[in-house]
């Protein structure tokens, strides 16, 4: 049988037996003279299923784990975080007891999440509401996507269920003295590229993983180009000539500049710098610090949106409270000021 494909060699040729739309979709059985023809036909039929050209029978007894597998085959595998999301969905499925996909009800889900936020985490504390909201979004997307692909004829049991309300917290950022201490601690790290990576994130607002995609050609015309980003939108951020020279010093002529995740090295640098971050934060504090200081120093929110690569200005507005310059007008525009008091 061809590796990973439902194709096998027979006396009459290459035999294909598959259900492109999943376990309960129509079955296809065909024999081809050439193996390549069988493979091409198989991939063509799978693509049709992804486009919604296959319909399931009404007697759909798939369990939730099978629904997740079908979602991954038809759509999830194309997502940048598809594999990570699949793993989270499979863990969620186990916690739910792997029910029949059509038997899950809104009340069952609400009951599950109410219990979920009371569970203890390994490192202490409880599962956050934000974590549970992500679980709800991921599972709802499984049903929703398969409905669009005509792969699921029943309803989406999570549709219309409001997410848990979160306490709105202002982003935590590092003060200048803390940045100095962090860089000094990073200089002592065994990870020789840690300082460069921290500086790059602080100077350009990069997410921690984005520098891992950079090569020498990413730095051109006084700017760094981030092409493989979280939302898949490329963005260009200006960078000083001095920092660019420092980043490229000793970098390979070809290939990636940075190697490895380095989160442990970063965490150790925080400890040595005596910096304590809010629960759940680590490397992303560098991005918050870039954005916060941009606004504090008079930078505009619209420009910040472009620099950070936010699709919606509402995401950038979380830093608006730092724009003290324009707010100070209230010192002279309030009614007491008009009375000279």
The pLDDT tens digits for 71-98 are: 999 999 999 889 999 999 999 999 999 9
Q: What average pLDDT score do residues 211-220 get?
A: 94
Task: Tell me, yes or no, whether 209 and 269 share the same domain.
Answer: yes
Task: Tell me, yes or no, whether 37 and 73 share the same domain.
Answer: no
Confidence of residue 54 (pLDDT cuts 50, 70, 90): low
Q: What is the CATH number of the domain that holds 321?
A: 1.10.443.10
Q: Name, in order, each residue with C-beta under 8 angstroms of 324's C-beta and a sequence gap of 6 or more.
A: 296
Give the single-character DSSP code of 339: T
Task: Tell me, yes or no, whether 84 and 206 share the same domain.
Answer: no
| 195 found inside a domain | yes
Task: Tell me, yes or no, whether 133 and 190 share the same domain.
Answer: no
Residue 92 is encoded by which pair of tokens? 């969620």
> In degrees rounded to 5, what are phi and psi of residue 283?
-65, -25
Scan for tokens 């594999």, then name that residue.
Answer: 83
Task: Tell me, yes or no, whether 211 and 91 share the same domain.
Answer: no
Task: Tell me, yes or no, whether 217 and 297 share the same domain.
Answer: yes
What pLDDT sits at residue 336? 67
Task: Tell me, yes or no, whether 14 and 117 share the same domain.
Answer: no
Question: Is 60 exceeded by the pLDDT of residue 291?
Answer: yes
Question: Is 50 exceeded by the pLDDT of residue 1?
Answer: no
Task: Tell me, yes or no, whether 140 and 194 share the same domain.
Answer: no
Task: Tell me, yes or no, whether 118 and 235 share the same domain.
Answer: no
Task: Tell me, yes or no, whether 187 and 323 share the same domain.
Answer: yes
Which residue range forms the structural domain that includes residue 262? 176-327
What pLDDT sits at residue 279? 78
Other beta carbons within 10 angstroms of residue 23's beta carbon come to 15
Confidence of residue 333 (pLDDT cuts 50, 70, 90): low
| 74 found inside a domain | yes
Task: Tell me, yes or no, whether 208 and 103 share the same domain.
Answer: no
Other beta carbons within 10 angstroms of residue 82's beta carbon come to 14
| 38 found inside a domain | yes
| 161 found inside a domain | no
| 157 found inside a domain | no
Which is it for strands 28-32 and 219-220: parallel, antiparallel or unpaired? unpaired
| 164 found inside a domain | no
Residues belonging to the active site? 207, 230, 284, 287, 310, 319
Say how many domains are in the chain. 3
Task: Tell me, yes or no, whether 217 and 188 share the same domain.
Answer: yes
């Amino acid at each position: 049988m061809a590796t990973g494909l439902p194709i096998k060699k027979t006396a009459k040729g290459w035999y294909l037996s598959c259900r492109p739309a999943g376990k309960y979709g129509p079955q296809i059985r065909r024999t081809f003279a050439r193996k390549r023809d069988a493979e091409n036909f198989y991939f063509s039929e799978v693509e049709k299923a992804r486009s919604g050209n296959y319909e399931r029978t009404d007697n759909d007894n798939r369990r939730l784990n099978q629904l997740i597998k079908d979602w991954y085959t038809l759509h999830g595998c194309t997502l940048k975080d598809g594999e990570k999301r699949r793993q989270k969905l499979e863990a969620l499925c186990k916690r739910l007891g792997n029910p029949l996909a059509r038997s899950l009800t809104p009340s069952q889900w609400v009951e599950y999440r109410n219990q979920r936020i009371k569970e203890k985490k390994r490192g202490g504390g409880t599962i956050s509401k934000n974590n549970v909201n992500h679980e709800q979004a991921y599972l709802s997307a499984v049903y929703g996507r398969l409905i669009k692909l005509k792969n699921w004829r029943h309803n989406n049991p999570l549709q219309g269920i409001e997410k848990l309300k979160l306490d709105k917290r202002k982003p935590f950022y590092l003060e200048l003295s803390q940045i100095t201490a962090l860089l000094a601690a990073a200089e002592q790290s065994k990870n020789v590229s840690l300082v460069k990576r921290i500086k790059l994130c602080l100077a350009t607002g990069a997410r921690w993983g984005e520098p891992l995609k950079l090569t020498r050609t990413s730095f051109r015309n006084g700017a760094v180009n981030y092409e493989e980003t979280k939302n898949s939108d490329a963005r260009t951020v200006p960078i000083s000539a001095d920092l660019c020279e420092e980043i490229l010093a000793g970098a390979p002529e070809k290939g990636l500049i940075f190697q490895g995740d380095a989160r442990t090295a970063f965490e150790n640098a925080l400890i040595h710098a005596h910096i304590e971050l809010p629960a759940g934060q680590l490397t992303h504090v560098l991005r918050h610090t870039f954005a916060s200081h941009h606004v504090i120093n008079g930078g505009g929110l619209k420009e910040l949106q472009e620099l950070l690569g936010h699709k919606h200005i509402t995401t950038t507005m979380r830093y608006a409270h730092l724009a003290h310059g324009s707010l100070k007008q209230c010192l002279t525009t309030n009614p007491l000021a008009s009375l000279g008091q």
